[in-house]
Amino acid sequence: ILYIMEENKMAKYLKQELINAVGMGYGELSLKGKNRGKFEQALKSRIGKILKKYDAKFYMDMSKLYVLVNKENNTDVIESMRKIFGINSLTPSIMIESTVEDIKREVLDIAINAYEEGARNFKVEVSRRNKKFEIGSMDFARELGGHILVNSSFENVKMKNPDILINIDIREKTYIFAEKIRTYGGLPLGSAGKGMSLISGGIDSPVASFMMAKRGMKVKYVTFHSFPFTSKQALEKIKELVEILSVYNDKSRLYSINILKIQQVINEKTNKELATILTRRVMMRLAERLAIENDHMALVTGESLGQVASQTLGGLTCTNASVETLPVFRPLIGMDKLEIMDIAREIGTYEKSIEPHEDTCVIFAPKNPVTNPKIEYVLREESKIENYDELLEEIYNDKEYFNIG
């Protein structure tokens, strides 16, 4: 679904310490005109921010973006760049001058090293963006292949599935690379607006937050708790999840709201089987208000169709109905738990999420929650809470927040 790091057997044939530039593939194919300019601006500013701590510079070479790296930090820089949304692929490269002699010398070095590392056949591919370079790409590829065969122990060129494919990309400078690392893609952080993510300590909501950030949405977070019925550690855990997510979503704010007061009233006044749904409606309503006051134009949840009683079509309808204007994004709606868990592992939130914690709602959770509630019934029960609005106001005004990352 997302992307899984493919093991690239060719990478090991290129000496990591020689990598001095990393090329970036980017750009949603459909982006044109004005949008494209905005996209590139957002991406460059994000790259600049990430690279600052490595003191690394990026530059353009014939409209492709590159970052200069050195052997002290190239693995760290590549690892950080892998997590920048808007980048589709990375090509760790050996950058040299665009002269026939330089290229021949470097390619032969690489080939000899690859042979020593166990490669037994190879292929050379040349792309010539720089038309000042006098030899055509096909001719030059043949020439380089011959040069390797004559001067190394290689006896075979293999067109299909070679042990090592040596790519030579001739621009102002020349870039030699063996692997193309696929990355998350998506859109540069912040280029698609801002949203408020409802985050719990579970597996799903951190993944949902990640998915929206990947699509360019900068998110803030809100979590609801029932202190002292839930512990301070539960909040610490959520802070740590937000910290992990800051790798993707940058530094951000986590709001924390204690909803115990209204949970107690729900428990007293309304039919027990509706407790979860009514609590969810409270959360959504408070989150919407918070979002609007923050100028955030969407809500994000980790709901997945049918996963639990409150996430059936009926349950979702009732929860959704408490939101007045904002769209509610549920990026996991069509995913299975196993798929969500795979993503959680990939992005690094899984281990934190599975640490034991008490969820707010567990405390008043009904033994037999209604599985397909009707909105009329839910509204009727909710109206039994006479001071509903005042209670929400009080709860809302007691919110706290933490800046994280």
**CA distance linking residue 291 with residue 285, whole number of Å:** 10
Q: How many helices (H) and strands (E) does the chain have?
A: 13, 15
Question: Per CB under 6 A, which of residues 143..202 are in contact with ligand ATP?
Answer: 198-200, 202
With vertex at residue 171, the alpha carbon angle to CA 22 and CA 157, rounded to the nearest 5 degrees, is 80
Question: How many other CB atoms are there within 10 angstroms of residue 205's CB atom?
Answer: 24
| Residue 203 in the binding site for ligand ATP (CB under 6 A) | yes
Nearer to ligand ATP, 346 or 359 (CB): 359
DSSP class per residue in 213-267:
HHTT-EEEEEEEE-TTTS-HHHHHHHHHHHHHHHHHH-SEEEEEEE-HHHHHHHH
Q: How far is the CB of 381 from ligand ATP (least distance, A)?
A: 19
CA distances from 190 to 81, 162, 195, 250, 347 (A): 17, 41, 10, 10, 19
Least separation in angstroms between CB 326 and Mg ion? 21
How many residues interact with ligand ATP (rule CB under 6 A)? 19
Among residues 71, 55, 57, which one has the least CA distance to residue 18?
A: 71
- Binding part of the chain for ligand ATP, among 53-61, 149-157, 306-314, 363-371 by CB under 6 A, reads 306-314
- Would you say 56 or 198 has its CB closer to ligand ATP? 198
Instruction: Give which of Mg ion, ligand ATP, none residue 308 binds (C-beta under 5 to 8 Å, depending on kind).
Output: ligand ATP
- Dist CA 167 CA 147 (whole Å): 15
Residue 64 DSSP label: E
Footprint of ligand ATP on 354-373 (CB under 6 A): 359-360
Kindly state the helix (H) or strand (E) to which residue 317 belongs, with its residue range: helix 313-320
Give, as ranges, the residues between 237 and 296 that touch Mg ion (CB under 5 A). none
Stretch that binds ligand ATP, among 24-32, 45-53, 117-125, 298-306 (CB under 6 A): 298-306
Which of residues 88 and 301 has its CB atom nearest to Mg ion in the complex? 301
The option from ligand ATP, Mg ion, none interacting with 310 (CB < 5 to 8 A, set by class) reads ligand ATP
State which residue, 50 or 208, has the beta carbon closest to ligand ATP.
208
Instruction: Give one DSSP letter per residue of 74-119, joined into a string.
Output: HHHHHHHHTT-TTEEEEEEEEEEES-HHHHHHHHHHHHHHHHHTT-
Judged by CB, which is closer to Mg ion: 152, or 200? 200
Regarding 360 and contact with Mg ion (CB under 5 A), the answer is: no
Q: Would you say 172 or 359 has its CB closer to Mg ion? A: 359
Residues across the chain? 405
> By CB under 5 A, how many residues form the interface with Mg ion?
3
Provide the sign of the torsion angle of the four alpha carbons 343, 349, 355, 359, taken in this order: negative
360 binds, among ligand ATP, Mg ion, none (CB under 5 to 8 A by kind): ligand ATP
Do the strands 299-300 and 194-198 form a parallel or antiparallel pair, or are they unpaired? parallel
Please select the residue that binds Mg ion; options are 185, 202, 206, 216, rule is CB under 5 A.
202
Question: Does residue 252 interact with ligand ATP by CB under 6 A?
Answer: no
For Mg ion, the binding residue among 98, 174, 200, 209 (CB under 5 A) is 200
User: How many Å apart are CA 35 and CA 41, to the nearest integer?
Assistant: 10
Nearest approach, Cβ of residue 346 and ligand ATP (Å): 16
Q: Which residue, 180 or 220, has its beta carbon nearer to ligand ATP?
A: 220
The token pair at 272 is: 């027990």
Binding status of residue 302 toward Mg ion by CB under 5 A? no
- How far is Cα of residue 169 from the mean position of the Cα atoms in its chain? 29
Residue number with the shortest CB distance to ligand ATP? 202
Structural tokens at position 294: 């923050």
Q: Using the rule CB under 6 A, give the single segment among 28-36, 78-86, 296-304, 381-389 that binds ligand ATP.
A: 296-304
From 74, 93, 191, 307, residue interacting with ligand ATP (rule: CB under 6 A): 307
Binding residues for ligand ATP, rule: CB under 6 A, are 198-200, 202-205, 223-224, 283, 301-303, 307-308, 310-311, 359-360
